[in-house]
Structure formats: C-alpha cells, structure tokens
Amino acid sequence: MMIKQQHITRLETQLAELVESTFVALFGNRIRAQDIALQLVREMESGAHRPDEPDAPPVAPDEYLIGLHPDVQSALIRRHPALSASLTGHLVELARSAGYHLPAEPRVVLLADASLAVNRFTVHAAHREREQQSSTATMQAVSIPKASATLSGAQLIIDDQLIVPLIAPVTNIGRHSDNQIVLSDPAVSRHHAQIRRRFDEHILFNARSKSGTFVNGVQIREHRLNSGDVIQLGDTQMVYMVDDNDDDEADDVDDATGPQDSFN
C-alpha cells in the first residue's frame, strides 16, 4: 500500500512551516525540511508489514530515529523543543490517512551522530514490539558474572581476542576504514552495523548489510543489547559486556587499550 502524494505533500508543508528557517540557517540550501519528511514517508512505507490476519491493514513502524550531526541535533532541540512531539502527531495523521495500523503512538527520536557530516542525516524506522519479540534468543547468551547496569564499562569482546570499549555515542562497525571498528572479514559489509548509546542502554542496528546482523542466533534490524549478548557479523563473533567497575579481578582476555584499528 502506497502513501498518496497529497498526504506526503501535506507532511512536507507542515514540517517546512515548522523548521524551515532553522534548516536554512543550519544547512543553507543543502538540506530542506521536505527531505526529512520524504525520508520519514519512505521509511514508513518500506517498514510496514502485513499481519497474519488476511484482511488486516498493514502495520506501520512505531519508532523513527533521525540521525543528525551533534551540532545540528542540539540546535534543532534548542530551537524547536517540541519537534519530536509535532512529528509524532504528523506521523499518526499520515498513517491514518494511508490506511496503516499503528500498534502504539509512534516515537520520534533525534539522535546525535558524530559520524555524519553537517549536511547529512539518516532516518531509521522500526517496530518496537516486533523487534523485542525477535530478540528472543535461540542461542543462550553468555553468562557474565557481576554484570552492571551502568554503561561506563560497556565493551565488545571480538573473537575472544580483543576488548574494545564502547565510549562514543555512536560506533560504526564494518570493513571500510572510516568505521570506528574496522573488521578484516570479507564476509562483513563495508558499513555493516552501528551501535548507538541511547540514555542508559546501547542499541545495535543492522546497517543494511548483505549478510545480516545476528544477536544470539537471531537476525535483527534493531536490538537493545544486554550484557552477554553474542553478536555475529559475517564470520566475526563479538560478545557485548557491561563490566562491574568494582571488579578488580583480571579478565581472561587481554585489554586492547590502543586505537580502535583493524581486527582480524
């Protein structure tokens, strides 16, 4: 089911009226508010899925993550603190007019992504309930003693050899040299996956890789990481851990404290 052009135009107009002056100040003519509106529409269309009931309407995604350069993200939030709420209302109207079902009120989050240029943005849509169900493991997660809820000790153990602390708000993983974690694995895509810190948790996203991203043996698009989760990218295995900062015992794996370079 396609969203009609009149509904797309209405969303573009509403968003332009809301933030166009800010976009001109931040981007000049390089990005328009309509560009983000159109990408939101595309994500809603491509992310909608058919339920099991034959006559039921398509189910639209109920979470939309807009990635922006940190300076742009902070400026938008400062100048338009109600932007996320306004976009939520527009998406509800868009889904209703297009005949989509929304299982819950959509959530729009503006995320700071230091890997993006000032004139770039990303939009990712997901089904919160569906992703939570898909994260049910078919393979048991590794049992990690003394796990902590804080993210200060969050790290990835790569192929039982190297430890990479997760410090940055956004960590890109793939074969290309512009990633924060570069994997020398031919089965891994150039830009394979991304880990984002959201409040007090890390979220793993598949970055449209060809071979997919797996957590505990289940293919995912988006997954909230828990300590002990086993991540599989190509032939590379990683374990996500959140260490107890008070644990003075040495780990069984050597700590790699140097730059995050290439891993075999």
Q: pLDDT digits over 231-249, tens only? A: 999 999 999 998 755 444 4
- 184 or 253, which is more confident: 184
Q: Provide the edge-to-edge strand list for the sheet that holds 63-68.
A: 107-112, 63-68, 121-126
Whole-number Å distance between alpha carbons of 157 and 255: 9
Kindly report the backbone phi and psi dihedral angles of residue 183, in degrees, each rounded to the nearest multiple of 5, phi listed first: -110, 125
Start-end of CATH 2.60.200.20 domains in the chain: 153-243
Q: Cα torsion for 32, 37, 40, 46, to the nearest 10°?
A: -100
Start-end of CATH 3.30.2320.60 domains in the chain: 1-126
Q: What is the pLDDT of residues 174-221, one digit of tens each?
A: 988 888 898 989 999 989 999 988 877 899 999 878 889 999 999 998
Whole-number Å distance between alpha carbons of 123 and 199: 19
Cβ proximity of 244 and 146 under 8 Å: yes
Q: Which tokens hold the place of 36?
A: 């983000």
Kindly report the backbone phi and psi dihedral angles of residue 202, in degrees, each rounded to the nearest multiple of 5, phi listed first: -110, 135
As beta bridge partners, residue 165 has: 155
Q: What is the pLDDT of residues 77-98, one digit of tens each?
A: 787 777 777 788 878 888 888 8
Q: Are strands 262-263 and 181-183 parallel, antiparallel or unpaired?
A: parallel
Q: Which tokens hold the place of 247?
A: 């644990």
Query: Can you give the chain as a three-state secondary structure string?
Result: CCCCHHHHHHHHHHHHHHHHHHHHHHHCCCCCHHHHHHHHHHHHHHHCECCCCCCCCCECCCEEEEEECHHHHHHHHHHCCCHHHHHHHHHHHHHHHHCCECCCCCEEEEEECCCCCCCCEEEEEECHHHHHHHCCCCCCCCCCCCCCCCCCCEEEEECCCEEEECCCCEEEEECCCCCCEEECCCCCCCCCEEEEEECCEEEEEECCCCCCEEECCEEECEEECCCCCEEEECCEEEEEEECCCCCCCCCCCCCCCCCCCEEC
For 54, counting Cβ atoms within 10 Å of its Cβ (0-12 exposed, 13-18 middle, 19+ buried), the class is exposed
Query: What CATH code is assigned to 1-126?
Result: 3.30.2320.60
Confidence of residue 259 (pLDDT cuts 50, 70, 90): very low
In this structure, CATH architecture of domain 153-243? Sandwich (2.60)
136, pLDDT greater than 60:
no
Q: What is the pLDDT of residues 49-86, one digit of tens each?
A: 888 787 888 888 888 888 888 888 888 878 777 777 77
As beta bridge partners, residue 93 has: none
